[in-house]
Amino acid sequence: MQSLSHDDLGITRCGSLDLRWGERTYIMGVVNVAPDSFSGDGLSDREAAVAQGHRLAEEGADIIDVGGESTRPEFTPVTADEEIRRVVPVVERLADELTVPVSIDTYKAAVAREAVAAGARMINDVWGLKRDPDLASVAAESSAALVITQNQRGARFDEFLTELIADLNRSVETALRAGVDWRNIIVDPGVGFGKSVQQNLEIVRRLWAVRCLGRPVLLGTSRKSFIGFVLGLPVEQRLEGTSATVALGIANGADVVRVHDVRHMVRVVRMADAVVRGWQSADE
């Protein structure tokens, strides 16, 4: 494992939460307001989605990520209007009722703009500003934190990790040109987005390499298909596999983990942080 330094990453302000990189790993809990979610936890009922957000916050999530369109392979796209109808009332309720910040999982500027107006303090773009570059302007104007994900769908990399990092860097430069504060940018290598099983495993194994971009790293492996392929298990039985990737990801430089099973992952993260970042007992 490489030496990991957080000294020059700055502090990212996300609503009431100061993300102080290096002190601990932050947990992003997932609320899917999309009935066709790959993870099997998609919700179409607004009250159920709000209740799930409350539960994840109570279980220890630092950020609640609300999405209204599935990201699974061969997903059915929804219009911006439909996505707004799904997510904005949920974002508004959660932003008003929770003390932890709310993130909007979207690649559409129109959706991000409405969600930020409703109280979202982070934008999580799974297309890395490539589908709708105007989303960067929304992040800049609102001072929202911005997660930039590398999405390999429709592309083929010969030198995988080198080209992945270069692609992420181009997206970071797009954000900076639009006026996004560098301290507000978080990068995600995009496990599962057009990658093979071997490539996803390589991301977790060599996550430290992504740190060359000089920004904190988010890792999203929760329940994903590469875990299912390795273990031969359906989505509802991937808890242990997710736990392994989260712990190894933290050891290799993850600053944020995006997960569905927050209660379990809080324990995994706490133990991994104790090993990687150090630990003191309450009596010391």
pLDDT tens string 141-152: 999 999 999 999
**CATH number 3.20.20.20 given to 21-275:** yes
Q: Give the confidence band of 43 by pLDDT, cuts at 50, 70, 90.
A: low
Give the percent of the chain with pLDDT over 90.
85
8 Å CB contact between 69 and 35 = no
The one-character DSSP state at 31 is E
The one-character DSSP state at 123 is E
* pTM (two decimals): 0.93
Give the percent of the chain with pLDDT over 70.
92
Query: Burial of 157 by CB count in 10 Å (0-12 exposed, 13-18 middle, 19+ buried)?
Result: middle
Residue 202: how many other CB atoms lie within 10 Å:
17
Dihedral over alpha carbons 88, 89, 90, 93 (to 10 degrees): 120
Catalytic residues: 224, 258
Q: Give the confidence band of 2 by pLDDT, cuts at 50, 70, 90.
A: very low
Query: Burial of 236 by CB count in 10 Å (0-12 exposed, 13-18 middle, 19+ buried)?
Result: exposed
Give the number of C-alpha atoms closer than 13 A to the C-alpha of residue 5, restricted to the C-beta side.
5
pLDDT in tens, 105-126: 999 999 999 999 999 999 999 9
Ramachandran category for residue 32: left, alpha or beta (phi over 0 → left; psi -120 to 50 → alpha)? beta
Q: In this structure, are strands 17-20 and 11-14 parallel, antiparallel, or unpaired? A: antiparallel
Residue 70: how many other CB atoms lie within 10 Å:
19
> What contacts 155, CB < 8 A, 6 or more positions away?
167, 194
Q: How far apart are CA 70 and CA 52, in angstroms?
A: 17
pLDDT over 90 at 284, yes or no: no
pLDDT over 70 at 6, yes or no: no
Locate the domains of the chain by residue range: 21-275
Q: Give the confidence band of 3 by pLDDT, cuts at 50, 70, 90.
A: very low
Per the document, the length of the chain is 284
Reduce the DSSP state of residue 188 to 3 states and report it: strand
Report which residue type is found at 253: G
